[in-house]
């Protein structure tokens, strides 16, 4: 990796923070006239291309961190579920809005939306 890259990195005790251009939280670095995500440039320099169907997950949850020890190649679903977005929040939900457990026999999945979990007890109460 060249000096130009390292001049834009601030190594803290934990993360290696990108200090140059940041877009949507991710550091950008120019390679052959194109902007690329800085963490991906360094990871690929050390490990080769990210396997097809995989993406890099920031284990530290800091998007502009380029520390390769904080990155893991995972499938897209794993990356989303490890995050803090709505899909991750819903997946981590253990109770419905009325306090019923969202697991086991109390789960209902609509045939039209097989990943959408519904509380069977609430569904039965609404049908009556």
In the structure, what pLDDT confidence band is assigned to residue 127 with cuts at 50, 70 and 90?
A: low
Is the per-residue pLDDT at 27 higher than 90?
Answer: yes
Q: Is residue 47 within 8 Å of residue 65, measured between CB atoms?
A: no
User: Cα–Cα distance between 21 and 27 in angstroms, integer?
Assistant: 6
pLDDT digits (tens, 9 = 90+) for 49-98: 999 999 999 999 999 999 999 999 999 888 888 888 887 788 788 888 88
**Domains recognised in the chain with CATH numbers:** 3-89 (3.90.75), 93-128 (no CATH)
In the structure, what pLDDT confidence band is assigned to residue 36 with cuts at 50, 70 and 90?
A: very high
pTM for this prediction: 0.71
Confidence at residue 111, expressed as pLDDT on a 0 to 100 scale: 83
Residue 8: count of CB within 10 angstroms of its CB: 16
Show the tokens assigned to 27. 């550091």
């Amino acid at each position: 990796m060249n000096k130009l890259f390292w001049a834009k990195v601030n190594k803290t005790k934990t993360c290696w923070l990108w200090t140059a251009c940041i877009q949507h939280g991710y550091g950008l670095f120019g390679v052959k006239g194109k902007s690329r995500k800085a963490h991906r440039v360094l990871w690929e320099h050390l490990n080769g291309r990210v396997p097809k169907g995989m993406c890099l997950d920031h284990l530290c949850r800091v998007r502009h961190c380029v520390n390769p020890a904080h990155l893991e190649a995972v499938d897209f679903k794993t990356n989303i579920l490890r995050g803090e977005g709505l899909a991750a929040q819903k997946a981590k939900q253990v109770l419905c809005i009325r306090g019923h457990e969202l697991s086991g026999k109390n789960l209902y999945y609509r045939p039209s939306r097989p990943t959408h979990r519904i509380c069977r007890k609430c569904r039965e109460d609404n049908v009556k």
